[in-house]
Amino acid sequence: MQGLSDLRHFCQCLVREFGSPGALTEEQKAEEFYRLYLDKLPPTIKTLQVVAEACGIKVNALPRETMPQNLRGYHDVYENRRNIYYKKGDAVSGIENTILHEIREMMEAFFAEAYPTYEPLRTIARHTAANRFASAVLLPKREFVTRVYDSGFDVPALAKVYSKSASQVLLRMGEVLQGQLFFFGALYEPDGQSPTTWRVSYWTGTRNDDADENIYGLDDFFPRKGREATPASLVEMTIQKGRPHYCRCINVTSDDDGGLTAITQPVVNSGGTPARVVLVALLGSSAHLLSPQVKRTKPIIVESLDRHL
């Protein structure tokens, strides 16, 4: 197919196969996209550019000074040709995300054509959907889940394996582990206004389908975006010593329920100092799942903490 018709055809195929696009998750859309366009090919910049061309889309690099402020990429239609623009010199993972993100945003108009009662997503919802779609294509669920468990929930290690940012890997964990077990993860970075202050920049969490395998009613216990690193916490210890830390037992309630277990790892910069810190927490009963990461990183052991991570 030529011009714009191929991406349109893909959207039409989804509608014929599954009905309303709104009834499909981004995971399902991504699985079909991966199966039809990539199959077993790695989703590299080169292959994604080829895929985009097959969809009638030209991918262009723009100099940083030409790219609109605060944007990594965007798309437009010029002379009946769809174009995707990404920031020249951006990180490889950023370019890959941009291509897939913009492809997913373009799909909304075609969904409305193929399914007239479908109401296209508005700006924020479309942006969120496009992010999820891109991550699902770049980090295919079945393989990714296996590697999460094999690595012992090691975010920095998986980021290297997939050549993706720690934040994207962490957020993807939250998507693919939902319903499997209780999991909390957070990424801390220095505050731009006060470099000695570290705050949560990204966080995610999941719950098990079994209500007995979760911790409820403790939302304030788990740090959300913008929260500072707690004094004497695993994160603060990791920042100060520049080494991973592992706490065997974190007491969160007065009941002897096994509490939580948690591990922190620094993501170091070229100078060897921590630029980010990743925190992962599981139920104490799931501590064995962290064993591969503990064995590999040889963290400083903290036997217990009381009511804080």
pLDDT of residue 165: 93
Residues 134 and 147 reside in one and the same domain: no
pLDDT of residue 254: 65
- CB proximity list for 249: less than 8 A, separation 6 or greater: 258, 259, 260, 261, 284, 303, 304, 305
Distance (Å, whole) CA 257 – CA 285: 9
Residue range 28-55: average pLDDT? 92
Residues 195 and 180 reside in one and the same domain: yes
Residue range 273-280: average pLDDT? 95
Does the pLDDT at position 269 exceed 90? Answer: no
Domain that holds residue 127: 5-138
Does the pLDDT at position 255 exceed 70? Answer: no
Any idea which of 49-58, 207-216, 262-271 has the lowest mean pLDDT? Answer: 207-216
pLDDT of residue 155: 98
Does the pLDDT at position 5 exceed 70? Answer: no
Residues 217 and 294 reside in one and the same domain: yes
∠ Cα 281 170 156 (to 5°): 90
Residue range 67-71: average pLDDT? 88
- Tens digit of pLDDT for each residue in 73-127? 999 988 788 999 999 999 999 999 999 999 999 999 999 999 999 999 999 999 9
Distance (Å, whole) CA 301 – CA 49: 46
Per the structure, the count of domains in the chain is 2
Residues 133 and 237 reside in one and the same domain: no
Does the pLDDT at position 194 exceed 90? Answer: no
pTM reported for the whole predicted model: 0.90
In which band, very low, low, confident or very high, does the pLDDT at 257 lie, cut at 50, 70 and 90?
Answer: low
In which band, very low, low, confident or very high, does the pLDDT at 211 lie, cut at 50, 70 and 90?
Answer: confident
Distance (Å, whole) CA 110 – CA 113: 5
- CB proximity list for 47: less than 8 A, separation 6 or greater: 38, 41
Residues 146 and 124 reside in one and the same domain: no
Distance (Å, whole) CA 151 – CA 169: 13
pLDDT of residue 2: 43
CATH number at residue 229: 3.30.450.20
pLDDT of residue 215: 78
Q: Which residues on neighbouring strands pair with residue 73, listed in sequence order? A: 86
Distance (Å, whole) CA 82 – CA 106: 9
| Full DSSP string of 218-247 | -GGGS--TTPBPPTTSHHHHHHHH-S-EEE
pLDDT of residue 4: 46
Decide which of 116, 138, 160 is a domain's last residue: 138
Q: Which residues on neighbouring strands pair with residue 263, listed in sequence order? A: 246, 280
Residues 100 and 180 reside in one and the same domain: no
CATH number at residue 25: 1.10.10
